[in-house]
Every structure is written in structure tokens, then in C-alpha cells.
Chain A
Amino acid sequence: MVSLTRRYRFSASHRLHNEALSAEENARVFGKCNSPYGHGHNYIVEVTVRGPVDPSTGMVMDLGVLDHAVEEEVLHRFDHTYLNLDVPDFQGKVPTTENLCIQIYNLLRARLEPVRGSAQLEKVRLEETSSNSFEYSGANGSHPEKAKREKKDENRPIARN
């Protein structure tokens, strides 16, 4: 099994604001991200798919298929938008990068299901800035790297030679 990761970019603005909270609470919870007109980021999204290498192509997944799916489901939907107003997904949901990361995972999961071949969507990692990033592997997702590490730590002695 091989994991393949491809990186894409989009730019969008958002405002972190919860209608259920008072103005003071919103200001306290969200700080400058609550600024009423919103603010923007250059987001970087990393999409990881995992599967066996097809012996006839040497590939986990056709990159054209992945690019097309990300273009249609993610970039077209979110690039150069104000997430709060332009994207129905965030009506009634705060467009934090956590929620955006989960939404991108769910959109790609649904889109790739019928076309993915034997590769599976493994993880979406979303960078809001070079200092902040978020990862989501599904509701029951366990990062394979972590699962593998734990399994190996349990079962295998350390080789020293």
C-alpha cells in the first residue's frame, strides 16, 4: 500500500461568528477573527489517497481523476469566495478551518467513492497559514501512520545490528 499526497491552493475569506452568542461572547471567543467584514487566507489543502499500486500502471490513482475531483468539489466551490455568505455549506456553521477541513473531506469522500478504483481517501490536511494546519481522516479515522506505529511498537523488537 502506498499513500499519495497532492497539494492544492485556494484563497477565501471568512468571519468566525456564532449567532447564538452575544456580541461580547463572539468577540471574546473569536477575537480578531470576529471582525465583522471578514478576513482572508491563502489556504493550502493536501489530499492523501491510499491504496495498492496497480501493476499495469505503477500508480495508486490516476492523478487526472484526483485533480478533476478536487477542482470541481473543492476549488470551484471555495476559491475566491466569502465562505460565510457564498458557500451554502456554512449557513449556520462557523467556517473555522476545522469545519472547512471536515467539509472538504466529506465532499471528496462522496465524490471519489464511485471513481477511486481501489484507492481510498485517507486524509485531508488544510493549512490556514504556515503556522496553523488541521487534519481530518473521517469520523472513525485513524491516521495510518499512527496506527502503524502503534502496531509496530507493540509487536516488533527493535533491530540493532
Chain B
Amino acid sequence: MIYLTRRAEFSASHYYHNPNFSEEENRRIFGKCNNPHGHGHNYVVEVTVAGEVDETTGMVLDLKDLKAVLESEVLQKMDHKFLNKEVPVFATKIPTTENIAIEIWKLLAAKLPAGRLHRIRLYETDDLYVDYYGD
């Protein structure tokens, strides 16, 4: 078993707001992240795939295929987007880094050309990241 990780970057904006909370509660809980016009990050996503090395190729999976899936399933949907308004799932779910990582897992898990998805690591900044293992 070997673990292969590929990294990609995308830039997006978001804000944190729960319509079930009052304005005061939203401001208290989410602080400056509640600014309704949003704010942006350069996200770094690391996709880790687990698998066996194919004896004929020496590879877990073809990196071009992984790159293509990452491009079509994640980057095209999230890069240079205002996540709350332009990514349908975040119309009803707050686009925290936690929730974005879980969504990226859902977008990729069934689309991998080989191996199985082991981990999504999503950096919001150099000093803050989340890990999701599918459970």
C-alpha cells in the first residue's frame, strides 16, 4: 500500500452566515467572517490516494488522470467563485473550510480513476488546515 498526494490551488471568496441566527448572533459567532460581501483565500487542497503499485506501470494511478479529475470536479467548480452564491451546495451549507473539505471529498471519491481516496487536506491559510478522511 502506498499513499500518493497531489496538491492544487484555487482562489475563492466566502462568508459565514446562518439565516437561523439573528444578526447579532451571526456577528458574535462568525466575527469578521460574517461580512456579507465576503472575503477571499488562496486555498491549497491536497488529495491523498491510497493504492497498490501497478507492476506494469510502477504507479498507483496515472497522475494526468488525477489532475484531470481534480480540475473538472473541484477547480472548475470552485476556483474564482464566491462560494456562497456560485456553488449550489453552499446555498444552504456554510462554506467553512471544514465543509469545503467534506464537499471536495464527495466530489472526488467516486471519480478516482484508480486507488481509493484516503484524505482531503485543505489549507485556508499557511497556519490553518483541516483533514477529512471520509468519516
Chain A interface residues (CB < 8 Å from chain B): 1-8, 53, 56-60, 62-64, 144-145, 148-149, 152-153, 156, 158-161
Contacts and interface: CB of A to CB of B under 8 A. Distances in A.
Contacts, number: 83
Contact of A6 (B29, B101, B127): B127
A148 B133 CA distance: 8
Contacts of A58: 16, 93-96, 98-99
Contact of A56 (B20, B128, B130): B20
B113 interface: yes
A158 B96 contact: no
Contact of A158 (B20, B30, B116): B116
A43 to B, nearest CB: 14
B135 interface: yes
Interface of B: 1, 16, 18, 20-21, 29-31, 50-52, 93-99, 101-102, 112-116, 118-119, 126-133, 135
17 contacts: A2-B102, A4-B97, A4-B98, A7-B126, A7-B127, A8-B127, A56-B21, A58-B93, A60-B98, A145-B119, A149-B118, A152-B118, A153-B1, A158-B1, A158-B52, A160-B51, A161-B114
Contact of A145 (B101, B130, B133): B133
A144 to B, nearest CB: 7
B93 A152 contact: no
A62 B116 CA distance: 32
B29 A57 contact: yes
A53 B131 contact: no
